[in-house]
Structure 1
Amino acid sequence: MKKIIFIAALFCFQILNTKAQQSFKPADLSVMWQLLGNDHLGKAQFLASFTLFNKGKTEIDLKDFKLYFSYPRVINSVISSNAKFENLSGEFCRIVFDGNAKSLKSGEKVIVEYIANGKSKNYTDAPSGLYIVFNKQPDQGYPIVNFERDYLLDKEVAQLKLAPAKVYEENKQIADLPMENLVPILPSPNEYKAKTGNFILYKNTTLNFASEFESEANLFNEELSKLLGVKLTSSKAENSIILKKIEGLVDEAYELSVKENRIVISSSSKNGAFYAIQSLKMMMPPNSWAKKQVEIQIPCAEVKDAPRFGYRSFMLDVARNFQTKEQILKVLDLLALYKINTLHFHLNDDEGWRLEIPGLPELTTVGATRAHTLNDQNYLHPSYGSGALPNTFPGSGFYSKADFIEILKYAKARHIKVIPELETPGHARAAIKAMDARYEKYKNTDLISAKQYLLRDTLDQSVYKSVQGFKDNVMNIAMPSTYTFIEKVVDEVREMYILADAPLQTIHIGGDEVPEGVWQKSPAIATFMQKENIKNYNDLWYEHLSKVNEILKKKNLYLSGWEEVAMRKTSLDGTTKYLANPDFTTQNFHAYVWNNVWGWGQEDLAYRLANAGYKVVLSAVTNFYFDLAYEQDADEPGLYWGSFVDVDKPFYFIPLDYYKSAKEDVQGKPVDQKIFEHKERLTDYGASNIVGIQCQIWSEKISGAEQLEYMLLPKLLGFAERAWAKNPNWAIEKDSKIANVNYLKDWTWFVNVLGKREFTRLNHYASGFNYRIPTVGVNIEEGKVHANVQFPGLIIKYTQNGSEPTLKSKTYTSPITQGGSIKFKAFNSVGRGGRTISIH
């Protein structure tokens, strides 16, 4: 009894002591971030500020706490006195007030101005995840619940807002096509011949299939049961769907015949049968998934189809910010529908490790959790706005072994291969800190176990900084324990694939962005270099690749990685150059090449590596990085360092001659074609090494499922078309005028299909997706306001009294007389709207 009383008393004391230590309530502190101006003092820098405001009744002593936040920008100087900015690691930052900082009485504020590199163009650039830590409670963070971000100057807003007239001009050439004239299958099939009549799918329709296609037929039947309320049975009734095995078609190819009394799917492979079913689903009315149907009419047609690329992939980063298992399953449904056959799963990075590995629990207890910490012993420090509190989505989270096996089974049933990415040796901070925690746990009781999986040399004094600002994120490749760790993870991952009966042919090892200076003051590296007679620090990289390659080859796996795995660093006239590394051209390395940014000098890198013999996956940042903003606008989320990427960018990409499809540079301006004059072109041999194409979403600024879907859709549909459909005639046409006419014809079909069919389907398919609805294009001509939208089928609503447009507002059908404030917004068929455009 005394013990219970003592514990209760101690608890009350701690509460009272905490209150005594806090001089004010954190909720009383309000913070606003403001952009004050780009091109500050005529330089490539911007001026911005934090305003701290006391909205409570208790005085706030600025010396009592530190303000922490995530911020990706490099701050050069703090103009305000009595405040200091500190970058702690990556984008983990804080502001500290010195002893001369004044206290804020109720209603008072203090402004901290600073100068940072580059430009700030949209709200994605703003600081995030703000919290304070009281000096007397250094281990406890308190979120700032009152945080706003704004652009202070009207002229700055005008410069950073999208010009609606530009959007209008881009949309003006798009014709509104009758729905019955649209080929209803996306990606577009090689051959589609419309016939008269319809097949009526209803509860008495029968489903018959060759034994080889049983799993595909059963999966289709499960979906039909949700649409019709019953599963189809097998019999020889007239109204039937038949899956037939034939010989002679390439893998994934199919033939689909829809007649009034019978649908016949013919394929030589299970893959082909599956994709024929996806095409058949496309031919159903797009609102078929909205509710249970009595009958579904499918237009009669003859279809012959096969993919252009055998590798059609989407990479999803869940390391920076996490996505739930349920969301991954939903994404797999989406990929399958549009015939994308690979999920490249980015499972670990500096900011998170997302997969349970039996025997290494620290990878998830430490590496999958972000919260306030200055030592990373129990979890990782905040990143990307994850804030102070542990176990908070999306900063924290991981997939258990059972979760991952479920994902693999789900993917396999939908003919999707999952390629796991396990970053080495760079981008490995989460793994390094997790294995440090393991070392600390065992070092005093079992030093052998403590060192078994250690990923860093504890005596290393090397100084480096990664592209993302980390100083401790690279594995030490001289230590045997590094390879013990890699092999342990590979073995456990392989075991999960075996248990899921899922295919595993490769592991993507990352291999990118190892910074200068790494390893140069490591005793373990020095000893290793002496033993192996290695003279150059750059050559350590190739030793690492060789060792990891041997680990994978022993397990019948080939090595995949970002472009650096295929490159050799050298110098010419004192300048660093990267060449195709001849060491590994015969090792079946698959290089995923992202760096083609127009004007950066590496536009031909993918072609150089393919011509040299490497298997190349085109992953071009200019067209396939879907985390980049759709357009240049202060209100449009997303990054923009490599390009702006709307749905047209992946659609008009020409994989085997992408110089020809280079239209806009990083700033959204026309590309100077002179940059390609001396670039290497793709040879016929090189073209044989282009194994496929991949789109990517990096998740630094993805805060949940809705934002993931917003950035992914409809961009993914443009990618799907380019990955599957045959090479379009406008891609090979040498006459630019003819090519442009042909392109506009295809583009018009595509946007009409999206606006009139696919958006309706995506409103309900797999419980519905939060695809982006574009902004309305607006132009003023002779006192009349003209409006249009990128996707015919969307509805334009407007108001003329300054109020926000709703479904009840006027529908735009013809030009409006200019006058006062006019607001426009596009809506889809279920009443969800895009961003509002205002005209004054």
Structure 2
Amino acid sequence: MANFRAIFEQNFFLYYLLISIFFLSCSPKNKSFAVLDYTIEKIDLKNNSMDVVFTITNSTSIDFKENEWSIHWNQIDGEPLAESLPRGIHFERVNGTYYILKFTDTWSLQSGESISFRVATNGIMSRLPLGPRGGFIVTSNESIDLHTNINWQDAKGLEELNLPTAKTRYQNLENVNSLPIDSIAWIVPSPTYSTSMTSERLPLANWNVYFTSENTMDEFDVLLKVPFEEMVSTLFPDVGLQWVKSVEEANFILKLSSDLTQEAYHLEIKQDHVVVATNSYGGLFYALQSLLQIDQIAILENRGWPIIKIDDMPRFSYRGFMLDISRNFYGLPKLKQIVDLMAMFKLNHFDIKLSDDEGWRLEIPGLPELTEIGSKRGYTKDESERLIPMFGSGATGRETGNGFLSKDDFISLLQYAKSKNITIIPQLSFPSHARASIISMDARRNKLLAMGDVVGAEKYALSDPNDKSKYLSPQLYNDNAINICMESSFAFFERVVAEVAAMYIEADVSFKQFGIGADELPYGVWEGSPVCLNSVNGNSGNLDLEILYNNALLRLKETIESHGAIMSGWEDFLLVHSKNSHGETKLKKERFNYEVIPYAWNNTWGGGREDMIYKLANAGFKTVMSNSSAFYFDMANDNDIDAFGLSWSGYVDYFDTWAIDPQDIFANSVLNQKHNIQSDYISKTTKLKPSKRDNLIGIQSQLWTETVTNHRILEQMLVPNLIVFAERAWAKQPDWISNTAPTQEQKMLKEWNYFLNVLGKRTLPVLHHRFPEIVYDLPKPGGVIENDTLYVRSQFPGLQVRYSLDGSVPNQTSKLYQYPILIDSDDVVVLRSFDTQLNGGKSIRVSQE
């Protein structure tokens, strides 16, 4: 009995110990993260400042001792003012928007406890994505995640931000109303010419294809037969395809017609057969894309194919999209999915931003440091192993802070895009926005110096250690410009271009264009570099930066051209480099023989550079319009507190993209009024000369990714933005452009409503059918309560709007709004948009006034 008791007592103690450990491990003090409550107490719009309370709760089992801990984070708007901090807390802006608070003196934080302190800021966090992100605590031994809660709802002065309400959204959607589905189009972007009858026919399950042409069958085999079979197997995998020898046997007639221009096509669906005519790979591909939209609408609506005749061609030969994968990285599968989206809507140039200050995303054989260091972000003491954290990448890089495309990845992407009639344009920043490459090559230099290889260390160096130049980039970096006075910088550039060109050769894809970026070169660069001062006029010290920079650009141009490509860059590299920075409008005397392609991007309404694209085209440059005020998907739609993106170029909504006329941006009186552009201002601007219209080769949309920190945000900022842009890039100039107000406004708003109906009722459901994993933007609905009745409007007719009356966030089973409903005085109405797959957007409360 005594032995049993001893055994019981021993086991009971072990059992109690295990239970205690279990409960202790679940207690708040044993979490692996701390918590920051960032509470905005006051917003002072007049003085551009906030009063904020930081409350830090130590949820870990570790005590944070004074002088041994600090908090680190990124924040786009609302930098703390050091002088407003309590004694013992010290603020440091490391570089860019990477901030640190160091705690000394009596500022310790024991496990399970909290501390609070107030701080004033320079700048206002007007939207949540612009606030603190990616926080972590650094102790003497480790880094710990800092989960952040932003409390803004009770801030004094919040009303000064004029945040959108359900009522203002309802008012803004005044001209949006639902149209019968049988009255709207089948295809986006809108075909040049289309006519249809009310009758339908059954879809073709098996295609018996007959080819007819003025050319020989051998030529057809080379041009279209194999690609046609590949396209059909990809786009219509369930279709049986066979070639027949007579038109009588055929239900699908394919014509090779020299009368059609590049990328143009003819598509006709008749009762007994289908006709496709084209003169190019691109035209054939787009004809099948249009037919696929028709086919999938028929499936979704459980109907036949329409009897329809389409003659279609693009308005612009260049229809581009640029994605920044340097700030945040999304991987090869997502890039291929974007290629598919572009192809679906007939875009043909994919400009990939592969490097910038915050990341280098392409493997370059022979320069492993570019990806070993430049493709990673996180906590670092000296950036010898990674870049500093930016855009919320935290201590370890998180979901999208790290990563790169291997050589094989890039080759695969080139080949995939080629099959979709899309040209990939690599964009690698030189000499500005180059911090990632500079830091990577600094690490290479230091590594080789430590090994005693002095010559190798300097071979590809990009910075002068003795450079005392003082400058600050728009993104607040003081070290992001490559030194163009060092031969090693050009050796680096030549190596990079040669390796990229080799990837194109291996992929069997034409290397057509290489983008250098070259935007936002800070004023003051190189002025304090001994290498630069000694490189001109002997040792006199007379430094002509304009000549120096132009000579460097000429060398870059020669390097790119030696590999058979053309150099492109943002408009900045053709403008005089001056203190005016973004306000500069004067073209350089150096024109590079007009053998470069400038992308005109910086055209904020009222900023004086709206007409820069026309100045460049009139001067003789082949140009691409990349307007920030119309084609930047990262410009937030409005100032909603939840909206992702920036707003330095104003708020850019879907209407801004759709309503612009690239060949005359002031032609739309509604846009002029919206952005407060007066006739006397317009009269002083440069117009595109009719004789130079061909120099405006096309338009490009951009998605910069400072706030795009996961795939879901990427999808919401990409779709339906990309579709709206594609309409403007492909479709002919709308008839209403030639009208004057108020006729113009009436016709335009009618067409805008029509387009929104096509988008919401047909295009977005088809996109979901093809890409069910994509969750696109679902805008907050508009709603008002008048005479005890709830009225609701949606941005895209066809989206579901569900509602609750108890203040809860509506879900998939909440009541569906279909018509005005009676509301009681104590009801708390909340609205939320849903797509056809019942994915939900952000909710919004409707106030009872």
- For the criterion TM > 0.5, the same-fold answer is yes
- For 1:839 and 1:577, how far apart are their aligned partners in 2? 45
State the 1:567 CA deviation: 1.1
Look up the match of 1:816: 821
Which of these residues, 738, 751, 756, is aligned with residue 751 of structure 1? Answer: 756
> Tell me, which stretches of 5 or more residues in structure 2 are unaligned?
1-28, 212-219
Which of these residues, 61, 66, 75, is aligned with residue 65 of structure 2? Answer: 61
The one-letter code sitting in structure 1 at the alignment partner of 2:275 is: V
Which of these residues, 174, 181, 184, is aligned with residue 182 of structure 1? Answer: 184
The one-letter code sitting in structure 2 at the alignment partner of 1:259 is: K
Look up the match of 2:130: 125
Native 8 Å contact 1:569 1:579 kept in 2: no
Cα deviation digits, residues 787-821 of structure 1 (max 9, x gap): 11121112222121222223332222333334231
Look up the match of 1:794: 799
- For 1:271 and 1:328, how far apart are their aligned partners in 2? 20
The one-letter code sitting in structure 2 at the alignment partner of 1:718 is: V
So what's the TM-score if we normalise by structure 1? 0.90
- For 1:451 and 1:365, how far apart are their aligned partners in 2? 19
Query: What SS class does the counterpart of residue 657 from structure 1 fall into?
Result: coil
- For 1:531 and 1:273, how far apart are their aligned partners in 2? 60
Query: What SS class does the counterpart of residue 567 from structure 2 fall into?
Result: strand
Which of these residues, 235, 248, 253, is aligned with residue 244 of structure 2? Answer: 235
Look up the match of 1:173: 175
Look up the match of 1:720: 726
- Residues 171 and 515 (structure 1), Cα distance of their counterparts in 2 relative to 1, 3 Å cut: same
- Residues 651 and 578 (structure 1), Cα distance of their counterparts in 2 relative to 1, 3 Å cut: closer
Cα deviation digits, residues 156-175 of structure 1 (max 9, x gap): 55545312222212322223
State the 1:579 CA deviation: 1.1
Cα deviation digits, residues 125-160 of structure 1 (max 9, x gap): 1111111111x23xx42222x321220525555545
Look up the match of 1:358: 365
Q: How does 1:316-335 map to 2 (within 5 A)?
A: 316-335=323-342
- For 1:132 and 1:724, how far apart are their aligned partners in 2? 50
Look up the match of 2:74: 70
Verify: 1:447 aligned to 2:447, yes or no: no
Cα deviation digits, residues 709-737 of structure 1 (max 9, x gap): 1001111111101100111011122x211
Native 8 Å contact 2:351 2:426 kept in 1: yes
State the 1:657 CA deviation: 1.1
- For 1:181 and 1:525, how far apart are their aligned partners in 2? 66
State the 1:671 CA deviation: 4.4
Query: What SS class does the counterpart of residue 233 from structure 1 fall into?
Result: strand
- Residues 575 and 150 (structure 1), Cα distance of their counterparts in 2 relative to 1, 3 Å cut: closer
Native 8 Å contact 1:260 1:300 kept in 2: yes
The one-letter code sitting in structure 1 at the alignment partner of 2:312 is: D
Verify: 1:563 aligned to 2:571, yes or no: yes
The one-letter code sitting in structure 2 at the alignment partner of 1:731 is: I
Verify: 1:542 aligned to 2:550, yes or no: yes
The one-letter code sitting in structure 2 at the alignment partner of 1:132 is: I
Which of these residues, 493, 517, 530, is aligned with residue 523 of structure 1? Answer: 530
- Residues 663 and 522 (structure 1), Cα distance of their counterparts in 2 relative to 1, 3 Å cut: farther
Verify: 1:30 aligned to 2:41, yes or no: no
- For 2:314 and 2:236, how far apart are their aligned partners in 1? 29
Which of these residues, 283, 298, 318, is aligned with residue 272 of structure 1? Answer: 283
Verify: 1:44 aligned to 2:48, yes or no: yes
Cα deviation digits, residues 400-452 of structure 1 (max 9, x gap): 11100000000000000001001000111111111112212222433222211
- Residues 207 and 48 (structure 1), Cα distance of their counterparts in 2 relative to 1, 3 Å cut: farther
Q: How does 1:257-336 map to 2 (within 5 A)?
A: 257-286=268-297, 288=299, 297-336=304-343
The one-letter code sitting in structure 1 at the alignment partner of 2:708 is: I
State the 1:243 CA deviation: 2.7
Q: How does 1:600-679 map to 2 (within 5 A)?
A: 600-661=607-668, 670-672=676-678, 674-679=680-685
Which of these residues, 659, 678, 687, is aligned with residue 693 of structure 2? Answer: 687
- For 2:442 and 2:63, how far apart are their aligned partners in 1? 42
Verify: 1:245 aligned to 2:256, yes or no: yes
Verify: 1:339 aligned to 2:340, yes or no: no
Query: What SS class does the counterpart of residue 764 from structure 1 fall into?
Result: helix
Native 8 Å contact 2:775 2:839 kept in 1: no
Look up the match of 2:781: 776
Look up the match of 1:16: none
The one-letter code sitting in structure 1 at the alignment partner of 2:769 is: H
Q: How does 1:365-380 map to 2 (within 5 A)?
A: 365-380=372-387
Worse-matched range after superposition: 262-271 or 413-422: 262-271
Native 8 Å contact 2:760 2:796 kept in 1: yes
Give RMSD over aligned pairs.
2.6
Native 8 Å contact 2:600 2:612 kept in 1: yes
Cα deviation digits, residues 86-140 of structure 1 (max 9, x gap): 10011111111221435457443322423122x3211111111111111x23xx4
- For 2:148 and 2:53, how far apart are their aligned partners in 1? 13
Look up the match of 1:198: 200
- For 2:270 and 2:481, how far apart are their aligned partners in 1? 60
Cα deviation digits, residues 579-633 of structure 1 (max 9, x gap): 1123116332111111110122322222222222222211111111101212221
Worse-matched range after superposition: 159-168 or 198-207: 198-207
Which of these residues, 742, 761, 770, is aligned with residue 766 of structure 2? Answer: 761
- Residues 49 and 606 (structure 1), Cα distance of their counterparts in 2 relative to 1, 3 Å cut: farther
Query: What SS class does the counterpart of residue 243 from structure 2 fall into?
Result: coil
Look up the match of 2:7: none
- For 1:647 and 1:779, how far apart are their aligned partners in 2? 23
Verify: 1:223 aligned to 2:234, yes or no: yes
The one-letter code sitting in structure 1 at the alignment partner of 2:570 is: W
Native 8 Å contact 1:607 1:680 kept in 2: yes
State the 1:56 CA deviation: 5.7
- For 2:773 and 2:307, how far apart are their aligned partners in 1? 27
Worse-matched range after superposition: 822-831 or 536-545: 536-545
State the 1:672 CA deviation: 4.9
The one-letter code sitting in structure 1 at the alignment partner of 2:808 is: S
- For 2:39 and 2:670, how far apart are their aligned partners in 1? 33
Verify: 1:115 aligned to 2:121, yes or no: yes
- For 2:153 and 2:773, how far apart are their aligned partners in 1? 37
Which of these residues, 454, 462, 467, is aligned with residue 474 of structure 2? Answer: 467
Native 8 Å contact 1:285 1:298 kept in 2: no
Identity of aligned residues (%): 32
State the 1:647 CA deviation: 1.7
Verify: 1:589 aligned to 2:609, yes or no: no
Native 8 Å contact 1:122 1:160 kept in 2: no
Native 8 Å contact 1:585 1:613 kept in 2: no
Query: What SS class does the counterpart of residue 184 from structure 1 fall into?
Result: coil
State the 1:665 CA deviation: 9.2
- Residues 575 and 750 (structure 1), Cα distance of their counterparts in 2 relative to 1, 3 Å cut: closer
Look up the match of 2:154: 153
State the 1:287 CA deviation: 7.3
- For 1:60 and 1:548, how far apart are their aligned partners in 2? 52
State the 1:288 CA deviation: 4.3
- For 2:33 and 2:816, how far apart are their aligned partners in 1? 45
- How many residues get paired? 801
